[in-house]
Amino acid sequence: AQKITQTQPGMFVQEKEAVTLDCTYDTSDPSYGLFWYKQPSSGEMIFLIYQGSYDQQNATEGRYSLNFQKARKSANLVISASQLGDSAMYFCAMREAKRGAGNMLTFGGGTRLMVKP
């Protein structure tokens, strides 16, 4: 079974609108962390936001917020007020405590977001 599933291979959003990128995960580990990364066409991976499994509040970082629904095992990324520079691939990733101190991540297949002017 896929550990991280991103069901939207590609999506469009109008500039200045909000957009939600879906991520569901599968783990039996009670301790885990969820990350979102952005990959522009230039190729570098940019860390956006983190949510720990025991965090009581949804994480926020500027225009990025994470809609964390633990019972549904979903960790959707919400980008408010989209900008043209938000056009990129977005990856959801999970770190499980049971994998040890190596800080290994499991990634989803990614969502390509395109912002229309």
Residue 103 binds to other proteins (criterion: CB under 8 A)? yes
The yes or no reply on residue 1 touching other proteins (CB under 8 A) is no
Per DSSP, which regions of 1-117 are E strands? 4-5, 10-14, 19-21, 24-25, 32-39, 46-52, 60-61, 64-69, 74-79, 88-96, 106-107, 111-116
Among 56, 72, 85, 100, binds other proteins (CB under 8 A): 100
CB of 20 to other proteins, least distance (A): 19
Distances (CA, A) of 9 to 19, 47, 66, 108: 14, 20, 19, 11
Among 11, 22, 50, 73, binds other proteins (CB under 8 A): 50
Token representation of residue 64: 């990025």
Question: What is the nearest approach in angstroms of other proteins to the Cβ of residue 112?
Answer: 10
Q: Could you say which of 16, 26, 52, 84 contacts other proteins (CB under 8 A)?
A: 52
Rounded to whole angstroms, the Cα distance separating 26 from 94 reads 9
Question: What does the per-residue mask of binding to other proteins show for 8-47, with x meaning CB under 8 A?
Answer: -x---------------------xxx-x-x----xxxx-x
**21, 8 Cβ separation under 8 angstroms:** yes
The amino acid occupying position 106 is: T
Chain residues that interact with other proteins, rule: CB under 8 A: 4, 6, 9, 31-33, 35, 37, 42-45, 47, 50, 52, 91, 93, 95, 97, 100-110
